[in-house]
């Protein structure tokens, strides 16, 4: 899951064209961030993929997310995983083992598990550049590459596609050092739907014989 929503890649010395592309990428991210964060809630269905051509791996799993500020609920029914976050605590529940792992939200790191962070990652810890505008299946998309400034990250690049018409994130692909490519594509999205905060908190008492691992 930490590959869901985040290596060093040094950019060549900035030319005039590259500088313009970087500025364009920043302006696009700024507009997407402001528009998205103006919504009180976001609900979306997505397709999560993992591919490694060397190992002949090609997996895909459907999922859904409810997002309300820093609170979120992610469900991956194909693999029996649910992730709850109330903004302070993260509960990662695995159905097959009836086990929940509890951790505190990392406010300082680039927490890949936090879907809301994708709207802010352009602000720090990354260099970025505008790649191209391309129409895919009838949708005009902006493609922007982000490169981590820290060499301690386990990925080299994130390529984000943004739908030009609605200025919302269409997909994100993370290129990992281990040869894996992780992708998330939004298949359906709705905004400003009522959401009860209770759904973002995991209650172990509702699961008989559950194993609780608390790292807080």
- What top-level class would CATH report for the domain 16-214? mainly beta
**Segments making up each domain of the chain, as ranges:** 16-214
**Which is nearest to 73 in space by CA: 102, 47, 97, 44?**
44
Residue 88: other Cβ atoms inside 10 A: 11
**Which is nearest to 31 in space by CA: 193, 125, 134, 166?**
166
Residue range 148-176: average pLDDT? 87
Question: Are residues 100 and 210 in contact, defined by beta-carbon separation less than 8 angstroms?
Answer: yes
Share of the chain residues as helix, strand and coil, in percent rounded to the nearest 5 = 20, 45, 35
Question: Are residues 113 and 104 in contact, defined by beta-carbon separation less than 8 angstroms?
Answer: no
Pairing state between β 211-214 and 99-104: parallel
* pLDDT score for 214: 94
Average pLDDT of the residues of the chain: 82
* pLDDT score for 120: 59
Question: Residue 90 to residues 12, 59, 85, 106, 202: CA-CA distances in angstroms?
Answer: 39, 25, 5, 10, 9
* pLDDT score for 52: 85
pLDDT digits (tens, 9 = 90+) for 33-88: 888 888 999 998 989 888 887 888 888 989 998 999 889 999 999 989 999 999 89
Question: Are residues 46 and 65 in contact, defined by beta-carbon separation less than 8 angstroms?
Answer: yes
Query: Strand, coil or helix: what is 43?
Result: strand
Please name every residue paired with 162 in a beta bridge, in sequence order, or none if there are none: 142, 169
Reported as a pLDDT band with limits 50, 70 and 90, residue 121 is low
Q: Angle at CA 67, nearest 5°, toward 137 and 62?
A: 50
* pLDDT score for 9: 28
pLDDT digits (tens, 9 = 90+) for 124-145: 677 888 999 999 999 999 999 9
* pLDDT score for 5: 39
Backbone angles phi, psi at 13, to 5 degrees: -50, 135
């Amino acid at each position: 899951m930490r590959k869901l929503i985040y290596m060093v890649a040094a950019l060549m010395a900035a030319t005039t064209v590259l500088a313009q592309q970087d500025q364009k990428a920043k302006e696009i991210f700024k507009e997407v961030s402001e528009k998205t964060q103006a919504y009180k809630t976001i609900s979306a269905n997505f397709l999560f993929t993992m591919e490694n051509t060397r190992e002949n791996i090609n997996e895909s799993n459907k999922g859904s997310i409810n997002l309300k500020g820093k609170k979120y609920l992610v469900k991956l029914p194909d693999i029996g995983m649910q992730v709850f976050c109330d903004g302070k605590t993260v509960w990662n529940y695995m159905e097959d083992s009836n086990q929940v792992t509890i951790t505190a939200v990392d406010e300082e790191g680039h927490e890949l598990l936090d879907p809301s962070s994708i709207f802010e990652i352009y602000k720090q810890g990354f260099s970025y550049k505008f790649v191209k505008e391309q129409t895919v299946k009838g949708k005009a998309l902006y493609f922007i590459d982000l490169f981590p400034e820290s060499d301690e990250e386990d990925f080299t690049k994130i390529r984000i596609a943004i739908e030009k018409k609605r200025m919302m994130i269409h997909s994100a692909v993370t290129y990992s050092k281990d040869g894996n490519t992780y992708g998330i594509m939004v298949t359906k999205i709705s905004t400003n739907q009522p959401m009860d905060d209770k759904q973002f908190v995991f209650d172990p008492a509702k699961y008989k014989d559950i194993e609780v691992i608390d790292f807080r």
